[in-house]
Amino acid sequence: MTQETTAALVVIGNEILSGKIADGNSHFLAQQLRGAGVTLARIVVVPDEIEVIAEAVRTLAPRVDVLFTSGGVGPTHDDVTIAGVAQGLGRGVIRHPALEKMLRDYFGDRLNASHLKLADTVEGTELDYAGNVSFPTFRVENIYILPGIPEIFREKVLALRDRFAGDPFHLRVVYTRELESAIAAFLDETLARFPALLLGSYPKLNDPEYRVRITLESKDRGYVERALAALLAMLPPEAVVRTE
């Protein structure tokens, strides 16, 4: 019996939907979660709008073990993630006393209303200092609210990742010269014999080395190896460029 943890990610950002910035946080989180044996079930990119964020939270949070958000947590008008998560959970937004004190100590006389916005949290938020970060991560229910700035997002993901770690996925890869349509029947047969296998087939155009990359995965290493052996026994030997 393997341990199964599921996650989802809500990316908040007009800058991504309008094509100004390419979202790299999704791919980073996907890789890190996979490495930790966590199944990322959904990524949703939404605009800086409270009700849209709230709807994403209402839809996704009950369906996964962990929901991450990326972006929209700074001091400016377009930072509405806290308000969106609060509305999604039916909770209020409160100024967190410990954060307010930290900000007052840090900024002193220069403190303004925008600084104080950084102390606004969803009611019931726990402050998480994992990874020795200078500013804590906000967690409320099963939701981790992460900043969108890539350097900080990555730092926090790396600090949090291991607490979700479960049994890892085992991955084997076959590179083949054949077209997908020529090997589809072999893939179907492999799945018929190994129905729990995670089997992917990814064509590549204009690559001199191979045409299709086949991925075989499971949390059961022996199962993957047996499925790989079965597939290789069906494929014409000259079709296989290499395996990984």
Q: Kindly state whether residue 113 participates in binding a copy of itself, applying the rule CB under 8 A.
A: yes
Closer to a copy of itself by Cβ: residue 36 or 143: 36
Query: Exposure pattern of 153-179 as b/e (b: 16+ CB <10 Å)?
Result: bbbbbebbbeebeeeebbebebbbebe
Q: Kindly state whether residue 231 participates in binding a copy of itself, applying the rule CB under 8 A.
A: no
Q: Cα angle vertex 119, ends 42, 25, to 5°?
A: 30
Closer to a copy of itself by Cβ: residue 60 or 140: 60
Rounded to a whole number of angstroms, the minimum distance from the CB of residue 233 to a copy of itself is: 18
User: Which 47-76 residues touch a copy of itself, going by CB under 8 A?
Assistant: 47, 52, 74-76
Q: Kindly state whether residue 191 participates in binding a copy of itself, applying the rule CB under 8 A.
A: yes
Alpha-carbon distance of 153 to 172, in angstroms, equals 30
Rounded to a whole number of angstroms, the minimum distance from the CB of residue 128 to a copy of itself is: 21
| Of positions 90, 108, 195, 205, contacts a copy of itself by CB under 8 A | 205
Site for a copy of itself, rule CB under 8 A: 14-24, 26-27, 30-35, 39-47, 52, 74-78, 112-115, 117-118, 149, 151-152, 169, 180-185, 187-188, 191, 198-206, 215, 217
